[in-house]
């Protein structure tokens, strides 16, 4: 169960061209303030896939990073299974599997070692983590790759490894930031299948939140959608509900209406993700 209510986060961005000497001069001139997230609220129940849909720079990644306790929010509250993220970040992180925007692996370690490392950091016994890696690898059809170094992995193989790594401690809550970035059709399909299975009681009735800017993914996968634009959650509901509310038959049209307003051109959205 993930509950986010009224979170906001702004960053001070240094004026362009003032990044000299790897940031040695810490006292920068007062820069521009970017409101990455202004007001985002949503609630994601277990056994349910919740999609955060929004254009690039809408504040999705920042919201998810606040949820993962990497960024402290300026306002609002975030709770995972009733535990406050700001107050007890370690406990929250232990209940979440996060596939973040950056999903780097250690190229000199095998896929198995990458996964078991995270399992150990999550407090698992090595043998248990190893067995779990084996199970997940079977599920994601990458058993053959498990003992190869990740150096030569393809995008899809990397993503699978990173996802297994995020799921190794069997978290009740799963957060995926743009998981299909760089994946081909088959890999995307496989991922979708896996997420559907994780939602079922057999898969553990996981609470899954995933962010994307791709309509089709939301249509095909999500039980409910939260539309985020310019740092605000502007609408939420199931896909049919949102279609009904906007009076559209095409979800893309509905999204444009919700995200940019009915008559506004989708041009002024150039705000940094982080």
Partner 1 sequence: MKRHLVAVSIVLRKELIDALRDRRTLLTVLVSSVLMGPLVLMAISALVASLEARAELREVYVAGLANAPTLKNFLERQTYTVKEAPAAYEIELRKSRFSDPVVVVPPDFESQLSRGESPIVEIVSDSANQRSEASTGRIERLLGGFSRERAVLNVALRGVAVQLLEPIEVESRDLASPQTRATRITGILPYFVLMAVLYGALNAALDTTAGERERGSLEPLLMNPAERWAIVVGKWGAVASVSMLIAVLSSFSFLPGQWVLQSDTLAAMFQYGLREALLFLVVLLPFAAALSAVLMAVAIRCKTFKEAQASATIVLLAVSLVPLISFFNLGSEAPWHLWVPALAQSTLMTHVLKGESLGAAEVVVPLFVCALLAAAGVAFVARMLRHAALK
The residues binding partner 1 (CB under 8 A) are 22-23, 65, 68-71, 90-91, 93-94, 96, 98-109, 113, 117-118, 120-123, 162, 165-166, 274
Backbone dihedral region for residue 69 (phi beyond 0: left; psi -120 to 50: alpha; all else: beta): left
Residue 144 Cβ vs partner 1, minimum distance, rounded to whole Å: 21
Radius of gyration of the chain (CA): 19
Residue 167 has a CB neighbour count (10 Å cut-off) of 26
> Quick one: DSSP state of residue 103?
-
Closer of 150 and 246 to partner 1 (Cβ): 150
Cβ nearer to partner 1, comparing 85 with 191: 85
CB of 118 to partner 1, least distance (A): 6
Q: Which is nearer to partner 1, 166 or 183 (CB)?
A: 166
Q: How far is the CB of 229 from partner 1 (least distance, A)?
A: 22
Q: How many CB atoms lie within 10 A of CB 24?
A: 7
- Kindly tell me which of 94 and 214 has the beta carbon lying closer to partner 1: 94
The conformational region for residue 42 under phi > 0 = left, psi -120 to 50 = alpha, else beta, is beta
- For helices 155-167 and 185-199, the axis angle rounded to 10 degrees is 10
Which residue number, 108 or 245, has a Cβ lying nearer to partner 1?
A: 108
The burial of 17, by beta-carbon neighbours within 10 Å (0-12 exposed, 13-18 middle, 19 or more buried), is given as exposed
CB of 76 to partner 1, least distance (A): 19
> Please, what is the minimum distance in Å from the beta carbon of residue 173 to partner 1?
12
Q: Is 144 helix (H, G, I), strand (E, B) or coil?
A: helix
């Amino acid at each position: 169960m993930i509950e986010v209510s009224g979170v906001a986060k702004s960053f001070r961005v240094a004026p362009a061209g003032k990044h000299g000497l790897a940031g040695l001069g810490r006292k920068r001139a007062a820069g521009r303030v970017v409101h990455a997230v202004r007001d985002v609220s949503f609630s994601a129940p277990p056994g349910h896939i919740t999609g955060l849909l929004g254009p690039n720079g809408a504040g999705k990644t920042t919201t998810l990073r606040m949820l993962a306790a990497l960024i402290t929010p300026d306002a609002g509250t975030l709770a995972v299974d009733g535990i406050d993220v700001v107050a007890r970040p370690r406990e929250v992180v232990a209940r979440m599997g996060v596939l973040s925007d950056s999903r780097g692996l250690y190229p000199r370690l095998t896929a198995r070692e990458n996964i078991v490392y995270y399992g150990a950091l999550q407090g698992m016994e090595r043998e248990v983590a190893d067995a779990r890696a084996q199970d997940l690898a079977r599920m994601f059809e990458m058993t053959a790759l498990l003992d190869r170094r990740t150096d030569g992995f393809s995008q899809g193989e990397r993503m699978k490894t990173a996802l297994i790594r995020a799921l190794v401690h069997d978290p009740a809550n799963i957060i995926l930031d743009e998981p299909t970035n760089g994946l081909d059709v088959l890999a995307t399909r496989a991922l979708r299948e896996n997420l559907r299975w994780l939602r079922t009681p057999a898969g553990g009735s996981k609470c899954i939140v995933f962010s994307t800017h791709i309509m089709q993914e939301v249509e095909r996968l999500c039980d409910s959608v939260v539309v985020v634009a310019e740092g605000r959650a502007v609408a939420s509901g199931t896909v049919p509900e949102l279609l009904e509310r906007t009076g559209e038959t095409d979800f893309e049209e509905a999204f444009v209406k919700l995200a940019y307003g009915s008559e506004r051109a989708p041009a002024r959205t150039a705000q940094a993700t982080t």
